[in-house]
Amino acid sequence: MGSEIQRIHQLLVEKKISCTDLVQGKLDELTKSTSNTSNFLLTDYALNLAKKVDQNIANGKEIGILEGIPFGIKDVYLLQGSPASGSSDFLRNYISPYTATAIQKLLDAGAIPIVKENCDSFGHGSSNENSVFGAVKNAVNEKLVAGGSSGGSAVNVAKGYTVFSIGGDTGGSVRQPAGYNKVYGLKPTYGRISRYGIMAYASSTDVVGPIARTMEDILMVLNVMSGKDYHDQTTINSDNISLSDCQDKEAAQKLKVGYYKSFINNKAIEPGIKTDFMALIEKIKGQGIEVVELDFLDSETLVSTYYTLAMAETASNLARLDGTNYGNRITGTNLKDTYAITRSENFTVETKRRIVGGNQVLSQGHSEEIYLKARQIRDIITEQFESEFEEVDIILSPVSPNNVPEIGNSLKDPMTMYLSDAYTVGFSLGGLPTLSVPVGPSTGLQVTAAKNQELKILQFSNLITA
């Protein structure tokens, strides 16, 4: 499958479709959809931009590759003058005062945002059921969850309502819904794309991530959004990656692959996912690619380390939400009472669970025993990745150990939901780039490389999907 962006670009250039009709068509599809992917449609904003693109084409101006391409934005990003709710009651009426850097770069390239997409509230979830806008339905089977937290974004892409969408990934929130809906989802190297203008969940692992139907589209969007940003001091310099390099099969063939036997020889993995993953490994070996087994920490330790740190960070980040300067304030008898009522009434149960857990782990008596130990384990994980990527170029794993759950079950059993992130959270803690590819296991394949080695991921993914 070739680039969808390129295909639509060609239609626009050849005047086989107008940008206005294209955008209106997508908005109509979103309006009619029963998948519950949209928190807010950006109808006037998008149609106004589409009109300008049509004028440029009519005037004979050359348009850029992303100009006029409709895309979706997870509702945790700021777009000046548009709502940004974080799928919460707290910010249901909040209007973004400025625009996130990643989104601004797409706007500068001429892409057109058409929808703020449903997601787990403040990114707190792995099923997209923790949303005040209701659960998002899976694109393949409506009885199943969309995955989370960027579920609305993944479903919109899978259904074709958006050409690409911008999700956010803290512990798997782009990769897992992409896998659940059989599209591509990239978590870039931490710092490659600015986090300025995204609602912070866990700042040390939060990344901006594109979701698309083809690897080529992921690449184009990645290149546009990458780069250092004055507003985010954790950003790093990076070079653009060329499509021809990604399509270099000779280079891909030389990549050495590893996989964690601790992930696969584990009683928690669904037998079908294990079988499909191992069948893919055999197929890769059959292509003459060297594959080795690796050892890793057990899933329980990985998940616990991630959630301990993520909860601590989200407790700190969401402390700013108290209804004083913005958000849905509920007035109490005094300042503290106002804080307490506002936060108690406006956060969801799962968000409150994470905030309370975070404050617990940061409090006296727990900090050293749990929080600092979790940070030590994170250091061990990082060192292990550094040593493993001296031996291999690519690490493969299923995106998730379980099949896609039915809607209605995940929030009842938070521990099971947390454990569904077992294969994604480790790579987040390591800050590594990793791509969810719709091949192999039913919930997708996760392709990971060392920091700043996105090219190897894309080369390898191109090889195995060709």
Q: Which residues bind other proteins (CB under 8 A)?
A: 80-81, 94-98, 204, 230, 233-234, 297, 300-301, 303-305, 307-308, 311, 315, 319, 322-329, 331-332, 334-341, 343-344, 347, 352-353, 355-357, 359-361, 363-366, 368-370, 372-377, 379-380, 382, 414-415, 418
**CA gap 194, 252 in Å, rounded:** 29
Question: In Å, how far from its chain's centre is CA 322?
Answer: 27
For other proteins, the closer of residues 1 and 356 by Cβ is 356
For other proteins, the closer of residues 82 and 442 by Cβ is 82
The distance of closest approach from Cβ of residue 268 to other proteins in the complex, given in angstroms and rounded to an integer, is 14
Task: List CB contacts of 191: < 8 A, sequence separation 6 or more.
Answer: 232, 234, 235, 236, 431
Q: Which of these is catalytic: 35, 38, 88, 173? A: 173
For other proteins, the closer of residues 284 and 315 by Cβ is 315
**Residue in the structure block whose two tokens are 């707290």:** 90
CB 152 within 8 A of CB 128: yes
The distance of closest approach from Cβ of residue 364 to other proteins in the complex, given in angstroms and rounded to an integer, is 6
Q: DSSP secondary structure string, 108-172? A: HTT-EEEEEEP-SGGG--SSS-S-TT-PPBPSS-TTBB--SSSHHHHHHHHHTSSSEEEEEESSS
Q: Which of these is catalytic: 149, 150, 153, 299? A: 149
**CA gap 73, 77 in Å, rounded:** 7
- The SS3 call for residue 72 is strand
For other proteins, the closer of residues 81 and 272 by Cβ is 81
Known catalytic residue at 149: yes
**CA gap 3, 56 in Å, rounded:** 23
Instruction: Report the half-sphere exposure of 30 (CA within 13 A, side-chain side).
Output: 30
The distance of closest approach from Cβ of residue 222 to other proteins in the complex, given in angstroms and rounded to an integer, is 23
For other proteins, the closer of residues 64 and 83 by Cβ is 83
The distance of closest approach from Cβ of residue 403 to other proteins in the complex, given in angstroms and rounded to an integer, is 21
The distance of closest approach from Cβ of residue 95 to other proteins in the complex, given in angstroms and rounded to an integer, is 6
- The SS3 call for residue 185 is strand
The distance of closest approach from Cβ of residue 93 to other proteins in the complex, given in angstroms and rounded to an integer, is 8
Question: In Å, how far from its chain's centre is CA 224?
Answer: 17
DSSP letter for 372, please. I
CB 120 within 8 A of CB 151: yes
Known catalytic residue at 242: no
Q: Which of these is catalytic: 18, 38, 74, 153? A: 74
For other proteins, the closer of residues 1 and 335 by Cβ is 335
Question: In Å, how far from its chain's centre is CA 156?
Answer: 13
Question: What residues act catalytically?
Answer: 74, 149, 173
